[in-house]
């Protein structure tokens, strides 16, 4: 099972990703988490991407996909993996397809968590207003920039996978358990 989880910021991707990896026993590959670890450890990569993360922009396709290619080439990904937060551009989706095809693999499922814009903005603004987020990119302005970037750069990724016939859209409004149940129904 090689799954790509798509959805706008605030859709609950991280929460659902944790549940999916627990149930299906595949590694969770979150490019956002990888970058945040580099930022926290002040590695050369972390110093390079910190400003981009803080502003809600995107790290370059080449940098992201080099990390991903390396990660999915590891032994623990032989039986599958869950990609969370990547691909975020059509170019990344193309690179992913090429990298996987080199080892005779392809993405098996793409799950798009669908949440209306008003609900997303409420969730994100609630999270930043309560100050209960450890993320430095959770302020209202940055959140709205991240959403614009999503619409412009990442929404087309769903179309890319729809054209390949492997996209499933899942209603992301409801309790965590309800949304997870819907996701499990398409991961068959």
Residue ranges in contact with ligand AMP by CB under 6 A: 9, 31-32, 35, 52-53, 56-59, 64, 85-86, 88, 92, 137, 146
Closest by CA to 10, choosing from 131, 127, 95, 105, is 127
* Chain Cα centroid distance, residue 113: 11
Shortest approach of ligand AMP to residue 68 CB, angstroms?
8
- Among 91, 105, 123, 135, which one carries the catalytic annotation? 135
Shortest approach of ligand AMP to residue 188 CB, angstroms?
26
Please state, as a whole number, how many other Cβ atoms lie within 10 Å of the Cβ of residue 59: 19
Is residue 13 part of the annotated active site? The answer reads yes
**Does residue 64 contact residue 71 with C-beta atoms inside 8 Å?**
no
Is residue 36 part of the annotated active site? The answer reads no
Q: How far apart are CA 146 and CA 125, in angstroms?
A: 13
- Among 71, 105, 123, 127, which one carries the catalytic annotation? 127
Point out the residue whose Cβ comes nearest to ligand AMP.
Answer: 32
Could you tell me the two tokens for 103? 């080892």
Q: Which of 9, 179 has the CB closer to ligand AMP?
A: 9
- Among 146, 159, 181, 182, which one carries the catalytic annotation? 146
Shortest approach of ligand AMP to residue 90 CB, angstroms?
12
Q: How far apart are CA 46 and CA 152, in angstroms?
A: 25
Q: DSSP class of residue 41?
A: T
Is residue 135 part of the annotated active site? The answer reads yes
List active site positions: 13, 88, 127, 135, 146
């Amino acid at each position: 099972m090689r799954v790509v989880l798509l959805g706008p910021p605030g859709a609950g991707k991280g929460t659902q990703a944790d549940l999916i990896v627990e149930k299906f026993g595949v590694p969770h590959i979150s490019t956002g988490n990888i970058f945040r670890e580099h930022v926290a450890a002040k590695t050369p990569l972390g110093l390079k991407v910190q400003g981009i993360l803080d502003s809600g922009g995107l790290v370059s396709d080449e940098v992201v996909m080099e990390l991903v290619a390396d990660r999915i080439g590891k032994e623990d990904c032989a039986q599958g993996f869950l990609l969370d937060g990547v691909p975020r551009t059509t170019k990344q989706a193309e690179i992913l397809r090429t990298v996987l095809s080199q080892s005779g693999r392809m993405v098996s499922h793409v799950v798009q968590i669908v949440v209306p814009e008003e609900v997303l903005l409420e969730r994100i603004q609630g999270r930043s207003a309560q100050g209960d987020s450890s993320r430095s990119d959770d302020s209202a302005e940055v959140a709205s920039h991240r959403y614009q970037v999503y619409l412009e750069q990442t929404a087309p990724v769903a179309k890319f996978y729809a054209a390949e016939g492997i996209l499933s859209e899942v209603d992301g409004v409801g309790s965590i358990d309800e949304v997870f149940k819907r996701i499990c129904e398409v991961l068959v």
